[in-house]
Every structure is written in structure tokens, then in C-alpha cells.
Amino acid sequence: MKIELNGKVHELPEHVKTTAQLLAFLELQNRIVIVEINQDIVLKDKYESHQLNTGDKVELIHFVGGG
Amino acid sequence: MKSRYLKQELFIGKTGQKKIEESTIVVFGMGALGSAISEMLVRAGVGKLVIADRDYVEWSNLQRQQLYTEDDAKKKLPKAVAAKQRLQSINSQTIIKEHVMDIFFQNVEELAEGASILMDATDNFETRLVINDAAMKHNIPFVFGACVGSYGMTYPVLPGKGPCFHCLVDYIPSQNVTCDTEGVISPIVQWVASMQVAQAMQILSGEDVTPTLRSFDIWKMEHAEMNVEKLKNLDCPSCGIERLHPFLTMEKHTKADILCGRDAVHIRPPVPRTLDLKYLSKQWEQQTTNMLANAHLLSFQYEPYRVILFKDGRAIIHGTADITMAKNVYTRLTG
């Protein structure tokens, strides 16, 4: 499916259907991330259950430590 | 003299300029972000700047840590000392207080006390959580910033408004994935520092600042931002209903941590101590090579390790990322 991720259109492979799968696909599953889908933040305990839909606008920010 | 702020005052107004000139700002960490933030703040005319850093200048810093010179690296000057010299030459009116120290729960409140704003320029999550607790306890805004590779992020922690840093980051993630593998380029440092300073200036001049998390990848040109108000945790032990400030009350222990991307371990004794550098340099003359001393530290080669001993008892052991090994070397050298 096609989603908009941080302002750019991305084509996701078929197996990516939930927020948790999206994070794994982006190799961010072990990082601290904040995910917003269609302007609503998805809480961590909903990552497994929250389904993605074509055309979703996803904003994703992961934390880094450097400085 | 006043005319030096003319262009800024035209933009920010007389009242805003006055607020900046009356402010005290603490910058935690004087690496890449700390250098960029401090230079902007001093040029903007902050009244008092407090800077703290545990490290010394190395050649690999010069690519992005804008306050430092080759001469600082040759002399292995502590960053806080080298930074103060440069900053004071940029603006002689700003009162600058420098601290060569590791920031941790026992000294953070003393540093933060009386500050208008705390600026994050550290390189690890643990220290940020410590500073966040001090900020929440003393009701001081804390402007978070971080970067790795070409990616950076910022967030203004505003006491009483939106989530604190602990609400957003509730555990300390491993950092090995990042700095060692990805490096960092200076344009993203400048972006993060600029965002942080802009937010600090807005807070000082009374602008409405929202709890918005922002990120930018300056290589991919990818930007994201979101209002994170929803993530405010009422049970947060740092800013919630029952405030325990857990990161200000941790038990004493010798702290050792791996330095980002440097194959080195930083060691801090459980209680502050003063090392007699002259005595130590004599004592270890035979077993070490390339001994270099200045007023703040000793640097020498010991077995396969390059060791830096600071006057305040801290050490940086290069040539290992093994914490136990580094602690052993430290104990052998300092007793």
C-alpha cells in the first residue's frame, strides 16, 4: 500500500499492515519513536493493533542520543 | 556598545532584547551542539552563560565543534576552558562561568539554580533525564536537542505545559547503534542548535511556545513535526502528580560509560576527589610514554591504552570499549 511518510510517498511491501510492522520494516522497532497517523498520535500499546490504510499520512520521529 | 544588538532588537523588540540581556542560560555539554548554541547565545547578548563539559578537545572534534582550534587540540584543553576563551573574545560583556565536570545528579541542581533556561547539548539519554528532573523540580524550561548522521531533533520541555522529556523517553535506549556507525555532519548540528536557540529566544521574549517535537534529515530533506501534548503522563515520576525526580536521587557509584564513537570509556569516581597530577606524572614516568601535562589534566600512553586523568578524579581510557577493563586500568593508576 502507499502511505505518506514524513511528507514523502512510500510504497510499503504487502506484509506491512500495522504500526508495529511499519516500525520493524524501517528497523526502528528497538528505538524510541513517536508515531502520528493522520494527525493523531498512536500510543505505544496500540502499535500491534493499529492498522495502516492506503493514503495514511504518517509522521514518525525517532529519538537519537548524539550531540 | 548597545548598537551591537541593533538588528536583533529591530526584530525581537526592546523588551525581548532586555529579557535576553537579563537572562542566565546553562548549556549542558560543550561538544558540537554546545559550541553552536553558546556562540549564538553569546552573540545574542545573554547576560550570563554557564557552560559545563567533562571532555577535552581532540582533532576529531574540529570538523564540527566550531569554537575549537588546532591549538586547543594540541594542548588538549578541556572544552569548557577553550570555549570560555573563545566565547569571551566574541562578547566581553557576557558573564561566562565554565565548569570542567561531568554532569550528574549531585551537581546538576547547583548548575541549574537560578537559570532562565537550560539548554541540552549532551550526548546521552541518562544525562538528559537527570537535567530534565532538575528542570521539572525547579520549574525551568529545558530545550532538548540531539543529532546523529544527517538527522536531528528538538523539543522544548516547558514546566506545566505538555510532556516532559521523561514522559517521552521512559527508558534509556542503547546508543551503540548510532554514533559509532553513522558519524555526524556539521550542517545538522547547526540546524538543531538553531532550532534550540530560536526556541530559547521565544521563551525568553514571552512568545507562545507549543510542546512540539520536530525532526529533520538534512541529507534526505525530510521534516516531521507533531504536537505531543497527548503524551503528557500524569503518573510521570518527573513531572506528574507525584513528583519523585528519580534521576536526582540515584545511588552513588563509580560511573563508567562508553564514549560515543571513540573506542574509549569515561570514568567518574563515586565522590569527587582531587588528583595530584604532578605527583602522578612522577610516579608513572617509567611505565608510561608520551606524557603530557597541563593545568587540568595528564595525558599518557599506558600499556595499550591512552589515558587522560583529570584533576577532579575523572578519567578517559582510550583503546577499549570494555568498561570493566577501563575501571581496572583506572584503579591501577589512581589507587
Model confidence pLDDT, tens digit, residues B257-316: 888 777 899 998 766 678 888 888 888 888 899 999 998 999 999 999 999 999 988 999
Say yes or no: A36 contacts chain B, CB-CB below 8 A. Answer: yes
Of B185, B215, B248, the domain-final residue: B248
Res B286: pLDDT: 87
Residues B268, B175 share a domain: no
Residue span of the structural domain in which B274 resides = 255-334
Dihedrals phi, psi of B216, to nearest 5 degrees: -150, 135
Q: Please indicate whether residue B179 is annotated as part of the active site.
A: yes
Of B248, B272, B292, the domain-final residue: B248
Residues of chain B with pLDDT under 50: 175-177, 180, 252
Res A66: pLDDT: 87
**What percent helix, strand, coil does chain B show, rounded to 5?**
35, 25, 35
Nearest CB to A59 within list B125, B168, B226: B226
Res B175: pLDDT: 46
- Cross-chain residue pair A63–B169, CB shorter than 8 Å: yes
Say yes or no: A63 contacts chain B, CB-CB below 8 A. Answer: yes
Give which of B51, B142, B213, B223 to mutate to test A binding, by max A Cβ within 10 Å. Answer: B213
Res B98: pLDDT: 98
Q: What is the ipTM of this complex?
A: 0.94
Residues B169, B59 share a domain: yes
Residue B36's identity, in one-letter code, is A
Choose among B96, B89, B100: nearest CA to B56. B100
Distance from CA of A58 to the nearest CA of B (A): 9
Residues B270, B199 share a domain: no
Of B192, B224, B248, the domain-final residue: B248
Cβ distance B50 to B57 under 8 Å?
no
CATH of the domain at B299: 3.30.310.10
Res B176: pLDDT: 45
CATH of the domain at B41: 3.40.50.720
Cβ distance A23 to A33 under 8 Å?
yes
For the stretch A5-57, pLDDT in tens is: 999 999 999 999 999 999 999 989 878 999 999 999 999 999 999 999 999 99
Residues B274, B231 share a domain: no
